[in-house]
Amino acid sequence: MDRVRDLASKKAAVIFTKSSCCMCYSIKTLFYELGASPAIHELDHDPSGRDMEWALRGLGCDPSVPAVFIGGRFVGSAKDVISLHVDGSLKQMLIDAKAIWF
């Protein structure tokens, strides 16, 4: 959990993924489309990946990846991100966290 929090706070937009996860690919694409450059952490290539996955599940992220953090705060998984994007909240969050400027 500490590692998760630690990494999440290091950048305005942080996404935890797995290299084999295609939904993660979709969410990453969305962020790039919005002009953000999120920090990507692949759990399957991290030594403490399993602990991190367990921690993310503990936060209520199901499936565990993709897990999105904006401004250090846990936003949610793919479903939450899409919902927030549709009602415009996602963009605003990114602007507030200075991940994007417009």
Asked if residue 69 lies in contact with residue 14, where contact means CB atoms within 8 angstroms, the answer is yes
Task: Tell me how far the alpha carbon of residue 23 is from its chain's centroid.
Answer: 12
Three-class SS of 59-90: CCCCCCCCEEEECCEEEECHHHHHHHHHCCHH
Based on the shown chain and the rule CB under 8 A, indicate whether residue 101 belongs to the binding site for other proteins: no
Based on the shown chain and the rule CB under 8 A, indicate whether residue 20 belongs to the binding site for other proteins: yes
Based on the shown chain and the rule CB under 8 A, indicate whether residue 27 belongs to the binding site for other proteins: yes
Based on the shown chain and the rule CB under 8 A, indicate whether residue 33 belongs to the binding site for other proteins: yes
Kindly state the number of chain residues that form the binding site for other proteins, as judged by CB under 8 A: 20
Q: Which residues bind other proteins (CB under 8 A)?
A: 20-23, 25-27, 29-30, 33-34, 63, 78-79, 82-83, 85-88
